[in-house]
């Protein structure tokens, strides 16, 4: 059975919905008979997304809006526009994200933009939409797109890691708040994609690498795990099975418990120990 919020005539809002995982989600929700609002900063891609989603459902069931999710006022306008057009929101997917790359001592404006979109965008969306979703008294879902990099925090892109670590902590707090709110039928979930071939990860490539999943595979997996009630929707891909993800995450937490150096997985003194840990049954 599908999740009770993902049903015909209910309303889904997807930020970062004009491409990649967001667009795959928008088309999946449209196929389920839902009314869909696609929000994105890219006006050209928004128009293309509207055409694609409208080929699945009636054009009257589709709306788009150009939104910078890092700005409270714009997210507030989005919530108001959806309420005026469709009556409210049943599924909110805070998916907008950027990954231009970062260095620890790089330009502060770059850090501000990454954290503004990736973390504050999710905080803004959740805080602005959730009260109205709760008030509807219906089953509802908030899906926040995180990253494995927000859990294992590999070296090389610190601003992105910080933003996605914040998404994990915020979404955990959000679900705790929702489950302790009287008469609330809205739940929060953390989507943790694997290697997905999108504009964010293509890096100039035009063909999907063998190790990557498509956005559609990722969304199909997400919907299946939503039906199962998972909070942590940890996606595998064609290269990395769940068992390896689990060991990488357990090792990362072990840095604290075992009092190892931070990011010891990449520390030469711990290379053999990590290799043996991964190979252990």
pLDDT recorded at residue 279: 96
114 and 160 in contact (C-beta within 8 Å)?
yes
What is the topology classification, in CATH, of domain 11-239?
Answer: Rossmann fold (3.40.50)
DSSP state for residue 214 in the 8-state scheme: P
Q: Where in the chain is the domain with CATH 3.40.50.720?
A: 11-239
pLDDT recorded at residue 208: 75
For the chain, which ranges sit under pLDDT 70?
A: 1, 200-204, 206
pLDDT recorded at residue 209: 81
155 and 139 in contact (C-beta within 8 Å)?
no
84-98 confidence digits (pLDDT tens): 999 999 999 999 999
Q: In this structure, what token pair is assigned to residue 141?
A: 């879902």
What ranges in the chain are assigned the alpha helix state H?
20-31, 43-54, 72-86, 108-115, 121-135, 149-152, 158-179, 199-202, 215-228, 242-257, 271-279
Please name the residues in contact with 180: beta carbons below 8 A apart, sequence gap of 6 or more: none
What ranges in 13-119 are assigned the alpha helix state H?
20-31, 43-54, 72-86, 108-115
Please name the residues in contact with 208: beta carbons below 8 A apart, sequence gap of 6 or more: 197, 214
pLDDT recorded at residue 262: 98
- Which residue, 175, 82, 83, 157, is CA-closest to 118? 157
51 and 63 in contact (C-beta within 8 Å)?
no
Q: What is the pTM of this model?
A: 0.96
Q: In this structure, what token pair is assigned to residue 234?
A: 């940890």
Active site residues: 160
152 and 248 in contact (C-beta within 8 Å)?
yes
- The number of residues in the chain equals 281
Angle between helices 158-179 and 108-115 (to 10 degrees): 30
pLDDT recorded at residue 1: 67
CA distance 215 to 19: 9
Burial class of residue 105 in the structure, from the number of CB atoms within 10 Å of its CB (0-12 exposed, 13-18 middle, 19+ buried): exposed
């Amino acid at each position: 059975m599908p999740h009770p919020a993902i049903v015909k005539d209910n309303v889904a809002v997807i930020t970062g919905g004009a491409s990649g995982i967001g667009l795959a989600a928008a088309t999946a929700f449209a196929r389920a008979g839902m009314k869909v609002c696609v929000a994105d900063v890219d006006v050209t891609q928004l128009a293309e997304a509207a055409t694609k989603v409208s080929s699945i459902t009636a054009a009257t069931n589709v709306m788009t809006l150009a939104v910078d999710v890092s700005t409270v006022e714009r997210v507030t306008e989005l919530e108001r526009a959806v309420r005026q057009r469709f009556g409210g929101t049943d599924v909110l997917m805070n998916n907008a994200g950027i990954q231009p790359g970062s260095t620890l001592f790089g330009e502060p404006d770059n850090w501000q933009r990454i954290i503004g979109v990736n973390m504050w965008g999710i905080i803004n969306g959740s805080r602005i939409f959730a009260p109205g979703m709760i008030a509807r008294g219906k089953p509802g879902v908030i899906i926040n797109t995180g990253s494995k990099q927000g859990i294992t925090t590999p070296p090389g892109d610190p601003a992105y890691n910080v933003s996605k670590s914040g998404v994990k902590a915020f979404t955990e707090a959000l679900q705790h708040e929702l489950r302790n709110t009287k008469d609330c039928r809205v739940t929060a979930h953390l989507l943790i994609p694997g290697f997905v071939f999108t504009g964010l990860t293509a890096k100039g490539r035009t063909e999907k690498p063998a190790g990557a999943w498509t956005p559609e595979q990722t969304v199909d997996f997400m919907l299946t795990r939503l039906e199962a009630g998972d909070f942590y929707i940890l996606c595998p891909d064609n290269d990395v099975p769940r068992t390896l993800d689990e060991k990488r995450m357990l090792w990362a937490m072990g840095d604290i418990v075992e009092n190892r150096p931070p990011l010891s997985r990449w520390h030469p003194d711990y290379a053999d120990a990590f290799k043996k840990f991964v190979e252990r049954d």
